[in-house]
A and B are shown apart, each in its own frame.
Chain A
Amino acid sequence: MSTASEAIELPARYRRLPRVHPALRRPLAVTGAAILAIWVLVAIFAPLIAPYGPDVLGNSLSAAPSSAHIFGTDQLGRDVFSRVLYGARISLPISALLVLMSLTIGSTVGSLAGYFGGVVDGVIMRIVDLVFAFPAIILALVVTAVLGPSLQNAVLALVVVSWPTYARVVRGLVMSASQREYVQASRLLGASARQTLLRDILPNVIGPVVVLATLDFGNAILLLSGLSFLGLGAQPPTAEWGAMVSYGTQYFQDWWMSTFPGLAIFSSVLALNFLGDSLRDALDPHGSWTTRGGRR
């Protein structure tokens, strides 16, 4: 308990993380994690849980929810419940892939800009500004329109518009981490850029980036299903949630056709935002939603 050791700031990789992160003990985080876990299980075991196949045409057409079809059936007699379950196998992994791609590109570009500064930084940030000037969906609209509407192209379009967010955040974090004394010291001792970035800077960047990615995951699901809803993403008869909502709009009175797939989108995004918001609180107690107390 010497006071001297408290005064020295240790590199983040030496600070031990508690085994159960405090954020995960909060009710919102728990709810979010639980809903998300259910969806992940559904995605994995959809063929075992689903009462019908996603594309099996049944005899009862446009039937309201009943014991045989708890979410009802669509115009072609397909079971909406089964299609929603199978939908988890498309929306969740593909959105995750999308986030992973944007994160990788954005973090790499952002850390290069933040670490080297100067001309590299100038050029990269101008490009970032430029992409920011176009709302995501407009750029995505252009890209998918010219490449043709398909799920792959929608993902590609969204990667193009979403990497700059990561680049901007990571650049700021890397810049401030580079100012720390232990990072400067390790640079003076002759560590290479690669070593410094991976060993000394990365641990400082990882927390905020994880929060950002969690919140962005939800956003990715929304944008991807939005594009599919517009007919620019997944194409029928794919059991994709956004495309199913879109299909349901043609049979407006049969509310169940679009209500349930939409509820699936909503619940998974909400779960991710519950989780991300709680993580953000834990990382940034100032102005957070749950920490208590104020001034002494």
Chain B
Amino acid sequence: MSLLEVENLRVHLPGASGPVTVVDGVDFAVEEGQVFGLAGESGSGKTMSALAVLGLLPRRAQVEGRIIYRGRDLVALREREMRSVRGREIAMIFQDPMTSLHPMLTVGRALSEHLRQHLKLSRADAQRRAVELLEEVRIPDPEGSLRSYPHHFSGGMRQRIAIAVALICNPSIVIADEPTTALDVTVQAGILGLLDRLRQENGLSVLLITHDLGVMSSIADRVSVMYAGRIVESGATAEMMQRPRHPYTEGLLSALPHPEAGDERPLVAIPGSPPAPTDPPPGCRFHPRCTYAVDSCRTQVPQLVEVDARRLACPVDPLAVKV
């Protein structure tokens, strides 16, 4: 049994003219000690899926489906019970460390407040644990840093602090929402390396959310690609990166530079832009931008089916077309 299983998740947000479905029947599973990736452009519903797991969707959002964590359905939990899961069992790292740490609270407070609430530690024990975590994420002068405010640190250092905040209660899953997107390229590798090391040392599972397949391929074990609220393809990362089978996955990959491969392929952007969630196209939601689209794509919604150890929602297999 997987640590976290999401089944047929749907999220509806209130819109000006009736509810808008931003996540439309999503399934995925996070295994113990693995990194599971959700990929897709902004607006594809990946962040909403993650927020649904933590029960942190906007106030009037509606959630359908099941989110099973260690045998409990998180969707059905009461707010009070959910609070003992958040931060303690499932923690979250946000995209922009410049805004995800409270600017007026010290690093020490950010690290210890939920630690003390969840684990009922004494002030001294909490402080000791906070120093330990800051050492683990390689913050220089951990003791002194406890009394500092976030603005004293650089973006990369702040993200390290945010990771320490997420990990301090020893959660079993960390949701990392674009953890490197807001950082300088030179800093990104360090943060990814840190996440990977912490996962191996602590047996942590990670739900990684990013639009950057380069980041994905460097640490994720398995990936699901989302488009306009639905999963279009999922499978083992290495496999999928080498041989994408959904036209959208292929498009995302061709838009990615490969300097290390010395590869001469031109960078190709996917034409058009994703549909507005208020007005999704019928049939396959990708068909207006798809170069392989056939007539049935315009009318029939392709089902996610098992193909060669992978799941694919496309009747046209680009590999077959190409070769």
Contacts and interface: CB of A to CB of B under 8 A. Distances in A.
Q: Do chains A and B touch in the complex (CB under 8 A)?
A: yes
A15 interface: no
Nearest to B15: A293
Interface string A21-61: 00000000000000000000000000000000000000000
B103 interface: no
Closest 6 CB pairs of A and B: A294-B58, A295-B58, A293-B14, A296-B43, A296-B13, A294-B59
Interface residues of B, number: 5
The winner among A293, A294, A295, A296 for most chain B CB atoms within 10 A is: A296
Interface string A284-296: 0000000001111
Interface residues of A, number: 4
Interface string B122-143: 0000000000000000000000
Nearest to A3: B273
A296 B61 CA distance: 11
Interface in A241-296: 293-296
A294 B13 CA distance: 11
Contacts of A293: 14
Contacts, number: 6
B40 to A, nearest CB: 15
B187 to A, nearest CB: 26
Contacts of A296: 13, 43
Nearest to A293: B14
Interface in A113-163: none
Contacts of B58: 294-295
Contacts of A295: 58
6 contacts: A293-B14, A294-B58, A294-B59, A295-B58, A296-B13, A296-B43
Interface in B1-21: 13-14
B315 to A, nearest CB: 31
A7 to B, nearest CB: 15
A295 B99 CA distance: 14
Interface string B168-185: 000000000000000000
Interface string B16-60: 000000000000000000000000000100000000000000110
A296 B44 CA distance: 12
Contacts of B13: 296
Nearest to A292: B14
Nearest to B42: A296
A293 B13 CA distance: 10
B14 to A, nearest CB: 8
Nearest to A294: B58
A296 B42 CA distance: 11
A293 B58 CA distance: 9
B42 to A, nearest CB: 9
Contacts of A294: 58-59
A294 B58 CA distance: 8
A158 to B, nearest CB: 40
A156 B58 CA distance: 52
Contacts of B14: 293
A295 B14 CA distance: 11
B35 to A, nearest CB: 26
Interface in B41-100: 43, 58-59
A296 to B, nearest CB: 8
Contacts of B59: 294
A293 B59 CA distance: 9
A296 B14 CA distance: 10
A131 B25 CA distance: 64
A296 B22 CA distance: 10
